[in-house]
Amino acid sequence: MSDPIKTKQDLVDWIEQCVLGDLRTLRQGIVYYYTHEDHKAPDGRALGGGNFLLAAGCCMALDYFGFIFHGSGSDEANVRAFVTKFLAGINPRYSEAMLLMWKCFRQGTVHRSWPQRIYVENDYENHLIAGVGSAPGGMHLDAASTWARDSFIINAWQLLTDIEKAFDTGFRTWILEEATDSILQRANPQPLQIRQGDRQAMEQLEKVRLWHREQDPEPA
């Protein structure tokens, strides 16, 4: 099976329509939340503000963009390179707090549902509280002045807006006019290797392959 992204224009379309498009879909859900005072879905179940989910999705996009742009270091190094090139000009605080934002909101929210509380080793008592807003116009890369404890606040709506601007004003052009075709390998799905000695994974892989064979599909 060939790679889905064959040209740099394919990559631009993928980012615009799918990566950012999916995040815009989440943002539309936030619009629904704020325009319905009862904060309930049509079936009556409670809705959330989408703040953590949108922030996590934005961090996923930054992870992907950093890998495409830099691709020769750790995830943190890749994101740092992307932020320095494309986001720092929009708001210099991205450079000032990129590492904390990445560790706290990406790793904490994706893996443990909450942004992590930030503290210096052996001094948890003075930890810094992290928070995420989602309302348009909310504080972003700032501190909550009404909180007694030091805080680190981002706004998921604004983060997506800034990522869109970074794509529209720089990253898109870099892909089309400056990058080499070598970025396409990084932009396409990455392989997952299963070790032959990993018995559980091998058994599950065979079961999944069996699902395919049971459907008797047309040859690929």
- For residues 118 and 215, which has the higher predicted lDDT (pLDDT)? 118
Q: How many helices (H) and strands (E) does the chain have?
A: 10, 3
Q: Are 1 and 169 in contact (CB under 8 A)?
A: no
Residue at 210 is within a domain: no
Q: Are 48 and 33 in contact (CB under 8 A)?
A: yes
* pLDDT computed for residue 1 by the predictor: 60
* 34 Cβ contact list (under 8 Å, min separation 6): 49, 135
Average pLDDT rounded to a whole number, residues 5-11: 96
Reported confidence tier of residue 193, pLDDT bands at 50, 70, 90: very high
In tens, the pLDDT along 130-180 reads: 999 999 999 999 998 888 888 999 999 999 999 999 999 999 999 999 999
Residue at 205 is within a domain: no
Residue at 20 is within a domain: yes
* pLDDT computed for residue 220 by the predictor: 53
In tens, the pLDDT along 17-36 reads: 999 999 999 999 999 999 99
- To the nearest whole percent, how much of the chain has pLDDT over 70? 97
- Give the structural domain span for 23: 8-190
Closest listed residue to residue 140, CA positions, set 128, 131, 129: 131
* pLDDT computed for residue 218 by the predictor: 62
Q: Which amino acid is at 209?
A: R
Average pLDDT rounded to a whole number, residues 181-188: 94
Residue at 24 is within a domain: yes
| 214 pLDDT more than 90 | no
How many domains, the chain?
Answer: 1
Q: Which residues pair with 152 in a beta bridge?
A: 130
Q: Which amino acid is at 139?
A: M
Closest listed residue to residue 59, CA positions, set 115, 11, 107: 107
Question: What Å distances lie between residue 212 and 145, 196, 215, CA to CA?
Answer: 56, 21, 5
* 216 Cβ contact list (under 8 Å, min separation 6): none
* pLDDT computed for residue 48 by the predictor: 92
Cα 120 from Cα 38, distance rounded (Å): 40
Closest listed residue to residue 58, CA positions, set 91, 5, 102, 123: 102
* pLDDT computed for residue 216 by the predictor: 65
| 217 pLDDT more than 70 | no
Cα 61 from Cα 171, distance rounded (Å): 13
Average pLDDT rounded to a whole number, residues 110-115: 83
* pLDDT computed for residue 107 by the predictor: 81
* pLDDT computed for residue 63 by the predictor: 93
For the chain, give the number of residues: 220
Cα 157 from Cα 143, distance rounded (Å): 17
Residue at 209 is within a domain: no
